[in-house]
Amino acid sequence: MVLVLLRIVLEPVDRRGALREKLPAGAAADSPPPPGSSSRVTALVGAVILACFLWATGNVVLQFWLRGDLTPAKDVISAMGSYFLAGMALFGPYAVNQLNSAFKGSTGS
């Protein structure tokens, strides 16, 4: 079921375009596309790994909650908290940069 939902949601995404470098400013529209970026591939792999850990942690906590025993769930959350904060710190500057460029584009400047 989850794989079907992921396929539906991610089908319209241009994965190759997301991994390519952006055209330099002032480049002609008909210029050849730039090659793929290794930093973007590395960031994609890291984001997938972090998402898998978050998903797995959520499943473990949900399983403890459904059994009615929240003490181990608190231990799991506290143990994984520093890991997810470190992962968030890795992607934080990129997220701020993307938000900054999104707001610059919407104001017309």
Domains of the chain, by residue range, sit at 36-102
> SS3 helix, strand, coil % of the chain, rounded to 5?
75, 0, 25
Measure the CA–CA gap between 87 and 16, rounded to whole angstroms.
24
- The model's pTM is 0.53
pLDDT of residue 1: 66
Measure the CA–CA gap between 69 and 87, rounded to whole angstroms.
28
**Which residues, in sequence order, are bridge partners of residue 36?**
20
Residue 12 has pLDDT above 60, yes or no: yes
**pLDDT tens-digit readout, 35-94:** 666 677 777 787 788 788 888 888 888 898 899 888 888 888 888 888 778 777 777 777
Strands (E) in the chain, as ranges, are none
pLDDT of residue 88: 76
Residue 25 has pLDDT above 60, yes or no: yes
pLDDT of residue 54: 82
Token representation of residue 103: 């707001």
pLDDT of residue 7: 77
